[in-house]
A = this chain, B = another copy of it.
């Protein structure tokens, strides 16, 4: 059982866009025990698409394609499938009704061009698109089952999970090989080499299970790869290594898999029945944005103030002007006063603040990357200083993580 993923679009072959759909599908197939032999990306060219689909139909058992299902003249996938299978296209009435309904739900009439999205190769099955207009296509050509999905990530994710996986199971394409499961242990608050030193015996080549270490935006992740004939076997290989890592790294570990700091912070706030507010200077709303990206945030997040200028710090947060005058806006004193101001004005149990320099310009002698995080609670206030490296965008993102991590550590340890 081997699979190939075909991504369609000149925006990928030209280097304009990075192909993240392909990575997502590869990870899902690995979890399902299906090994991916090839990724192919092809520009929006009819002859090249036909060639790529034909090659895939002869060398693997499953082909997942993304893109080329839109309403425009560049969208060739329907035509390509029909051509490689040697069948005509026909209009699918149910798909057409769905497309019209999607437009109607947004109070718009369906443009005539979108009608082509209802064309299906004869003998194929419609893959229902719960999140968009373009239906997908499921059909067998030569040796391979094809699942043609849209390129829009959210549409593709849902269609793969709800429509393609059940058909893979029904076609006997699952569960023949060995399962590979990944467990990602996410850490924040120390550098890669500090963390690696604590787990050197686990990350060496040949260790079973394999443990890899990756860094992304100041989060250090340890990935444990469990393998076995069943999911249970793969999980049993992972569990003891995860326990060892957690024991050695303590509260540097904040979560697993795709868990983010803001989710952990909100869970801890909910468990303790506490609320949070934010006062942001350097991070300019990013801490609040991350907190509100979690559904249900309003139960624990009261709101925030983005006080990007000194007058805003004084007027909206009640930071004494003299404090800014004496210590500068980028100082532990101002960070603490900002957190206290936000806590008072928003009536929350806790408040966290940020003030710092993200560059490109500096302010006096303070270096770019210097950030203070303030934390205020009923009985007190404190702050910490961090020196982040990187671009402006990286400093902003990492500073927001430092703020969230400060809240996490307070909720865990006081």
Contact = CB atoms under 8 A, between A and B. Distances in A.
A231 interface: no
Q: State the main secondary structure of chain A at its contact with B.
A: mixed
A306 B285 contact: yes
Contact of A44 (B131, B212, B284): B212
15 contacts: A10-B212, A15-B29, A38-B52, A40-B40, A55-B55, A72-B203, A102-B389, A105-B387, A114-B193, A283-B292, A285-B291, A286-B289, A288-B289, A293-B396, A302-B311
A203 B25 CA distance: 30
B303 A306 contact: yes
B196 A72 contact: yes
Interface size band for A: 35 or more
A72 B306 contact: no
B59 A51 contact: yes
B305 A316 contact: yes
Interface stretch (A16-24, A163-171, A264-272): A16-24
Contacts of A12: 39
Contact of A193 (B30, B111, B152): B111
Interface of A: 7, 9-20, 22-30, 35-45, 48, 51-52, 55, 59, 70-74, 102, 105-108, 111, 113-114, 131-132, 152, 154, 180, 182, 184, 191-194, 196-197, 203-205, 212-216, 223, 278, 280, 283-289, 291-293, 295-298, 301-309, 311-312, 315-316, 345-347, 359-361, 387, 389-394, 396
A74 B305 contact: no
Contacts of A389: 102, 105-106, 131-132
A26 to B, nearest CB: 3
B292 A298 contact: no
Contacts of A191: 108
A293 B193 CA distance: 30
Given A280-B288, A285-B285, A285-B288, 10 more contacts: A14-B30, A35-B43, A36-B43, A132-B389, A278-B285, A286-B289, A295-B360, A303-B307, A303-B312, A305-B306
A37 B16 contact: no
Nearest to A367: B105
A284 to B, nearest CB: 3
B316 A213 contact: no
A184 B35 CA distance: 37
A139 B107 CA distance: 59
Contacts of A205: 73
